[in-house]
Amino acid sequence: MRNLKLLFNIIAFVFFSTYVTAQVSSINLDSKIYPYLSKLAQKGIIKYDDLVKPISRKYAAEKLIEARYNVNKLTSLQKDELEFYESEFGYEINQIKIRLSKANGLVSSNNINSIDDKKSIDSTAENMQRKGFAG
C-alpha cells in the first residue's frame, strides 16, 4: 500500500510539473521561414539576426507581427508568404496579441473578439517595438 501511494505521488508530481512548466518550441532548421525572415531583414522591413538559429516559434511570431506592421513595404509575393506564415504561427501570434492587449487594458469580456482586426495587429506591432519585444 505504501509503495502504491509513493508511485501515485511520483506520477502526480511528474504530471503536474510538466503541466506547469512552459516549453520553448524551436523551429526546425530546414524551415522556409528562416530565408523569408532573412529577406525581410535585408530589405529593412524587420530587424532579425539570421546567425542565431534555431529560433522559437514565439520569436518568429513577433517578427511576423513586425512584418505586418510594415506590410506596405512588402511585395505581393512577400505579402502572400506573410499570410501563409501568419496562419502557420497563428496560435503564437494570437497569444502575443492577447497578452499585449491585456497589458494595455484593451481586452474585456465584451471586446476579446475584436483583437483580430488589422488596426489591432498594427498597434500591437507598434507596442511591441516600443516595449522592446520586436526588433
Q: What is the pLDDT of residues 69-86, one digit of tens each?
A: 999 999 999 999 999 999
Number of domains in the chain: 1
Domain that holds residue 52: 25-131
Share of the chain above pLDDT 70, in %: 61
14 within domain boundaries: no
Which pLDDT value is given to residue 112? 46
Of residues 34 and 19, the one with the higher pLDDT is: 34
Cβ neighbours of residue 26 closer than 8 Å, sequence gap 6 or more = 54, 55, 56, 57
4 within domain boundaries: no
Cβ neighbours of residue 33 closer than 8 Å, sequence gap 6 or more = 27, 60, 85, 88
Average pLDDT in the chain = 79
105 within domain boundaries: yes
12 within domain boundaries: no
All three cell numbers of 100: 499585449
pLDDT tens-digit map of 89-134: 999 999 999 888 887 775 444 454 544 555 555 555 565 556 555 4
5 within domain boundaries: no
11 within domain boundaries: no
* 129 CB-contact burial (10 Å; exposed 0-12 / middle 13-18 / buried 19+): middle
Which pLDDT value is given to residue 65? 96
CA pair distance 63, 128, nearest whole angstrom:
10
